């Protein structure tokens, strides 16, 4: 028998699992895309820590920073953190780059 309350609860559970998996996927995306070779959560490796990046950009509008960081993730960049240039990572999709940017910006919360 169809029960509307059970169906709504099931949809809520599915949505919760989907969004939690998306949020938790970012550290895995960072590992899969070799980001962890140059960055760590709370210490400088070759590049700045994720927390330092989040701190530097925390006063700027979030949507703008997500787009800016996603672009840097995909196309690389240099000069913002010294002489070491961040290489381009063009194999990562724009959607995944934005997930990583969101995760980085949330890293010092």
Rounded to whole angstroms, how far apart are CA atoms 68 and 26? 17
Q: Which of 48, 42, 27 is nearest to 102 (CA)?
A: 27
Q: Please compute the mean of the pLDDT values over residues 66-84 and round it to a whole number.
A: 93
Domains of the chain, each with CATH number or no CATH: 4-105 (1.10.760.10)
Rounded to whole angstroms, how far apart are CA atoms 5 and 107? 36
Residue 20 pLDDT: 37
Flag whether pLDDT at 95 surpasses 60: yes
Q: What pTM did the predictor assign?
A: 0.75
Please check whether residue 45 is in contact with residue 53, taking contact to mean a CB–CB distance below 8 angstroms: no
What does pLDDT average to over the chain?
Answer: 82
Residue partners of 81: CB distance under 8 A and separation at least 6: 47, 48
Residue 18 pLDDT: 36
Give per-residue pLDDT as tens, 7-42. Answer: 444 344 333 333 334 445 689 999 999 999 999 999
């Amino acid at each position: 028998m169809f029960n509307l309350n059970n169906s709504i609860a099931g949809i809520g559970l599915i949505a919760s699992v989907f969004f939690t998996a998306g949020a938790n996927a970012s550290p895995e995306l960072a590992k899969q895309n070799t980001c962890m070779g140059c960055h760590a959560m709370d210490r400088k490796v070759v590049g700045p820590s994720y927390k330092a990046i989040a701190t530097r950009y925390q006063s700027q509008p979030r949507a703008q920073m997500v787009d800016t960081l996603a672009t840097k993730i995909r196309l690389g960049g240099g000069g913002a953190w010294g002489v070491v240039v961040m290489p381009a990572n063009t194999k990562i999709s724009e959607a995944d780059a934005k997930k990583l940017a969101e995760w980085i910006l949330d890293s010092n919360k």
